[in-house]
Amino acid sequence: MEEKMKARAVIFTGNSISHEDARKILRANYQPPVRRFQLEEFVQKGYKVIGIIDGIFFDRAAVGHREILSALDAGVKVIGGASMGALRASELDTHGMIGVGKVYEWYRDGVIESDDEVAVSTNPDTFEPISVPLVNIRETLKAALASGLLNKEEHSGLLQLAIDTYYPDRSYLGLVKEGAKRELIPEEKKKIILDFCASNEVDVKREDAILVLETVKKLIEEI
């Protein structure tokens, strides 16, 4: 029984996928987005698998490289993807951290570099995002381009506008309204573009979060 307990996973998430939805995929100890100095506690408790999806950004509270390296040195498998997990995995995969998903690959390959690509403003009680991450906007605009709804110029203009927007202020409504105001898109296309983004959003972070959970599931079975 004790060995089984040690094989259980702890997963830090809440923005990219809710704890409720995550539990439908994997039974685990779900924690809010990871902060600095939290990992050691779970290593000490005997957890053998740590999944990092979401985490605190932009300040000293962000999970540090050293604590992940310390967990790896203790024989713990650390998997990252979707958000903070993807960023840290791209920096520490050569040390044994396992990275999964598109966002991890983009960071690893230098397609994206800034932390604010995955950062969102969140509801402090539920951790639910109340802004849209730039990685999702990128893929959704790409889908709009592929569908013929946007031409190349409109796509480039809206993408640059999204990049230039402060991360807590990113939303499809704001993007389309400001895009029309700056004449990056015609006024008459505003509603159809907004409808497309609302019904066809490519939620890369959620897709990658599911991949993290599926990877953790496999690793637990191997222990």
Torsion (CA) 159, 163, 166, 167 in degrees, nearest 10: 80
pLDDT at 7 over 80: no
Mean of the per-residue pLDDT values for the chain? 93
pLDDT at 6 over 60: no
Q: Which pLDDT does position 140 carry in this prediction?
A: 98
The whole model's pTM is what? 0.92
Mean pLDDT of 18-28: 95
Give the Cα-Cα-Cα angle 72, 85, 40 (nearest 5 degrees): 40
- What is the Cα–Cα distance from 142 to 133, expressed in whole angstroms? 15
pLDDT at 111 over 80: yes
Mean pLDDT of 47-61: 88
Mean pLDDT of 13-37: 95
Q: Which pLDDT does position 1 carry in this prediction?
A: 35
- What is the Cα–Cα distance from 138 to 127, expressed in whole angstroms? 22
Q: How confident is the model at residue 59 (pLDDT cuts 50, 70, 90)?
A: low
Mean pLDDT of 186-213: 96
Per-residue pLDDT reduced to its tens digit, 146-163: 999 999 999 999 999 999
Q: Residue 193's CB: how many other CB atoms inside 10 A?
A: 22
Q: How confident is the model at residue 57 (pLDDT cuts 50, 70, 90)?
A: confident
Per-residue pLDDT reduced to its tens digit, 65-81: 999 999 999 999 999 99
**Is the backbone of residue 144 left (phi > 0), alpha (psi -120 to 50) or beta?**
alpha
pLDDT at 33 over 90: yes
